[in-house]
Structure formats: C-alpha cells, structure tokens
Amino acid sequence: VPLSFQIIVDDDDSKVWSLYDAGPRSIRCPLIFLPPVSGTADVFFQQILALTGWGYRVIALQYPVYWDHLEFCDGFRKLLDHLQLDKVHLFGASLGGFLAQKFAEYTHKSPRVQSLILCNSFSDTSIFNQTWTANSGWLMPAFMLKKIVLGNFASGPLDPEMADGIDFMVDRLESLGQSELASRLTLNCQNSYVEPHKIRDIPVTIMDVFDQSALSTEAKEEMYKLYPNARRAHLKTGGNFPYLCRSAEVNLYIQIHLLQFHGTRYAAIDPSMVSAEELEVQKISLHTSNEQEEQ
C-alpha cells in the first residue's frame, strides 16, 4: 500500500510537498515521478501499482508553489535530504522532465540523479513562446489558467483509453488552485534551457509518442540532439499522457531502463525480486525494441 505524506522542507510553511511512497523501504535509490503542469502525484497510479508489484520502490510527487527553477531545485534537494535519499532515478513528464533535467544540472557537482526518463519532455522553455504568462500568470484567475492548459490537450476522435486519460487529467487540473497552476505555468514558460555538458554522464531514456501531443517535432529533435546516447522509447500512440493510457508499454520501458542498475547499489528493485525469468522477459523485449529502432 502506498504511504501518502505531506512534507514541508522550506522555512515557508505554505510550501507543502505531497507524495506517495510505495515499495520496499530498504531500497535507497528509488524511482521518483515528477508530474506535468496539470498533474498531481496520483497521475502515476498505474506505474505505482505495477512497479511495486514487481518489487520496485517508487515515489510520486506533487510540487509546492515555486516560482523559479532554482527555488524548485533547492526545495527538491531538501526533500531528498529529508527522505534520506542520496541518489535517485527520475521519471519526468513534460514540465516534470524539464525540472528533472534542471535538477540534474543543479546538482552536477555532487550528483543526486542516477538516471533520467524523460517523457514527452523538452530542454528549452522558449518553445512555448509564452514568456508573457511567466510575467503575468500570477495575476490571472484560475479559470483562465485552466483554459491555457486545456488548450494543449488533444481534441478530435480518441480511443477510449486516451479519452479516459484526458478526463482523469482534466479532473486533476480542476483540483489545483490558482497559485499552484500559476506557479507551474511560470516554471513551464520562464526563459530557461538545459546545459547538457553538465549532465552528459547520466543515463537517459527519452520516451515520446508518434501521435499528437503538445510537443512539436522541433522540440523532440532538440532532445535527441542534446542526448545523442540516450535510449529511445517510442510509443506509436499515447498522446500527452501515455503513462495513463498506454501504461503497460510505459511500464515495460521503465523496467528496461532500470535493468542496467540491477545488482548495483543504485538498483531501484528489491534484489530478491529479480528472477532469472523476469530478466529473460526483459532481454526479449529489449531485443525487439532494438530491432524496431534499426528498421
């Protein structure tokens, strides 16, 4: 059963991190999920259920109200200290992926990030050309901010899983207050980019979809250029929220990514759960995904 916590690590009592921590506590290098602008910690419930069933420790987060990237990184570092986690794997979706990269860059002198999975993410906020919201977002009422976010959600005919995923995200979006939304949109649009030379040595998997998502082709190409050695996890479909509507594929790619750390002190899985059979299954899936890439 995932334990649900609320933690304050800053001097400011209003900055509350909400999180689910699930799986074996003995694991010291868990996988941490960072949500997109509209996301709350529970958008990753499909990952929490499946991965903890296989013996992984996973933590899903919801951010406090932070208005700039540095402030976020500082708060996140304090949170890891509080949880007594020296190094972690990060799965970041969209804005969450950008923040994951910024955090890896921020801690590059004494690294806290063991690896990155970047889902539908970006490396440069200028792709949104929305610096105006970054400067005036805090003034806008919640309904206008929600409209901005909803504008990026897919429209048109969708399969049932994708429609359900979008409904779920709209529901989560409704639960966020004005300052939560305004601060996340500010982080999403504030002029900033990732400095790749600072995080060159971190193993990265880039996960993206081939159907419609809020990410432009240019933003995707930029990510491939930035991380030429990254593994690529492509999903034919999945829209903006593949972790909700294509969870089996996403979970398999997460397993494949974490496989490289099995048997090391950075394993995110309980060693007794790594069976020869599971490794065999993963080798097969790795093999097929490599074949797909070569085609």
Q: What is the pLDDT of residues 73-116, one digit of tens each?
A: 999 999 999 999 999 999 999 999 999 999 999 999 999 999 99
Whether 121 shows a pLDDT value over 60: the answer reads: yes
CA distance 16 to 295: 47
DSSP 218: H
Domains in the chain with CATH codes: 4-294 (3.40.50.1820)
Q: What is the pLDDT of residue 90?
A: 98
Report, as an integer, the average pLDDT of 125-148. 73
Q: What is the pLDDT of residues 226-243, one digit of tens each?
A: 999 999 999 999 999 999
CA distance 96 to 161: 22
Q: Tell me the three state secondary structure of residue 58.
A: strand
User: Given pLDDT bands bounded at 50, 70 and 90, which one contains residue 145?
Assistant: confident
Closest to 104 in 3D by CA, of 214, 22, 93, 117? 117
CA distance 145 to 151: 10
DSSP string over 183-195: HHHHHHHSS-B--
- What stretches of 227-275 show up as alpha helix (H) in DSSP? 242-245, 247-259
Q: What is the pLDDT of residue 111?
A: 95
CA distance 35 to 93: 5
